[in-house]
Amino acid sequence: MIQLKTLLTCIDNSGASVVECVNVLKKKRPATIGDRIVVVVQKQRAAGSEGSSATALASKVRRGDIRHAVVVRVKKELQRDDGTVVRFGDNACVLVNKAGDPIGSRMNGIVGQELRGKKWSKILSLAPVHV
C-alpha cells in the first residue's frame, strides 16, 4: 500500500537511500509490487562508504530529486494465483528513468516475483534473490 507520503527504502546503488512517494502512476489505488510511482529523494546514501568508484555512481541522484521508481517489496500482504500469500518486512523500490530502465546498476535485497508478470524482468535479473 504505497501512496502519497509513503517512505520507501531504495535498494539500488543510484545513491538514494530513503525516498518518498508523491504519486502512483496508472492507478487510482495504492501501489503494490511492480507498480510505477513518482518519488522524491529524501536521503542520500553516505558517499565514500562504498569506495571511490561508488561515489561517481552515488551522484546519480541528489536529495530533492524527483524520479520514477518501481515498487519491489511491500509490507501489505499479496496473494498470488495459487493462494500463496507473501508479505515483506519493509517497503522498498528501485529508481528507474522515464524509459523504464533502472538507474542503478546493482541491487541489494530481495524482490517480489510479481515483477515478472509486470514486465520488470530487467530489475528481477539485477536482484540477488526473488521470492
Residues contributing to the site for other proteins (CB under 8 A): 73, 77, 82-90, 92, 108-110, 128-129, 131
CB of 38 to other proteins, least distance (A): 24
Number of residues written out for the chain: 131
Q: How far apart (Å, rounded) are the C-alpha atoms in residues 127 and 109?
A: 7
**Cα(first)–Cα(last) distance of the chain, in Å?**
18
CB of 106 to other proteins, least distance (A): 13
- Take residue 1 and report the three cell numbers written for it: 500500500
- Take residue 80 and report the three cell numbers written for it: 498470488
- Of 77 and 101, the one with the shorter C-beta distance to other proteins is 77
- Of 87 and 119, the one with the shorter C-beta distance to other proteins is 87
Which one-letter amino acid corresponds to residue 78? L
- Of 1 and 56, the one with the shorter C-beta distance to other proteins is 1
Host H or E run for residue 63: none
CB of 85 to other proteins, least distance (A): 4
Collapsing DSSP to helix, strand or coil, 113 comes out as coil
CB of 59 to other proteins, least distance (A): 25
- Of 65 and 109, the one with the shorter C-beta distance to other proteins is 109
